[in-house]
Amino acid sequence: MSSLGDGRGAAQVKPAGLDLDPKQKLLAAYKRMLAYQFCGAIILVAIPVAVLVFSYVTAKAGVWQPPILMVVALAGIVGAFFSALTRLHRVDQLPLALMSDTVLGLNGLHLVVYSIVPPVVGAIAAVVVYLAFISGIFDSGVFPKLVCKAANKTCNDLVQVLNDYGPDKAADYGKVLVWSFFAGFAERLVPDMLQAVLARMQSDSEK
């Protein structure tokens, strides 16, 4: 009788231990991904911030103008970082792939590389959106208006475009930053926008 009782107790304890194992794996993976995601984003944020600080230190007193591309890239990085953290914050909705032996087996260097991919993509997407604003591909009230701010009002080469071409008013600066943040936050935003432009160009060419 006692042996049967012990066997039943063991049978009852075993499933409970199995239930806890995936949770422990998920928690371990969550801790690692959160730590490396944060560190990777901090590293990438530090690069444009360092450029901005350097430009401020080397600028003449009262005439500092931050490089707009650095500000745009920084907004894209922050958007991608925000998106990644919101996904990691929902622990109960993490994908099962996070618990896989492959993810758990990645070393620190690979996890750093994995964690900086979204911010890099966000920075590239933000710059692409800004260049699309310069080209005039997107023309609507929700998009910023960019103008040449050079003394002669002509920005005909790449250096002048990068240095002297930018948002016209305060609202346009806000729109540039918001769209740059969106480009980093929403992974499909830039591809969908470019796809819509290509579809419109094809439609115009067929007319």
pLDDT digits (tens, 9 = 90+) for 143-193: 898 888 877 778 888 888 888 888 988 999 999 999 999 999 987 888 888
In the chain, % of residues over pLDDT 90: 13
- CA–CA distances in Å: residue 144 to residues 62, 73, 76, 138: 26, 16, 16, 9
**For residues 11 and 7, what is the distance between their CA atoms, to the nearest angstrom?**
6
Tens-digit pLDDT profile for residues 91-137: 555 554 454 555 556 666 777 777 788 888 899 999 999 988 888 87
CA 130 remoteness from chain centre: 15
pLDDT at residue 90 tops 70: no
Q: Quick one: 163 exposed, middle or buried, by C-beta within 10 A (0-12, 13-18, 19+)?
A: middle
The answer for residues whose C-beta is within 8 angstroms of residue 194's C-beta and 6 or more apart is 128, 132
User: How many residues appear in the chain?
Assistant: 207
What is the pLDDT at residue 23? Answer: 62
**For residues 92 and 98, what is the distance between their CA atoms, to the nearest angstrom?**
12
User: Where is pLDDT greater, at 95 or 89?
Assistant: 89
Tally of CB atoms within 10 A around 18: 9
C-alpha angle 169-72-181 in degrees, rounded to nearest 5: 95
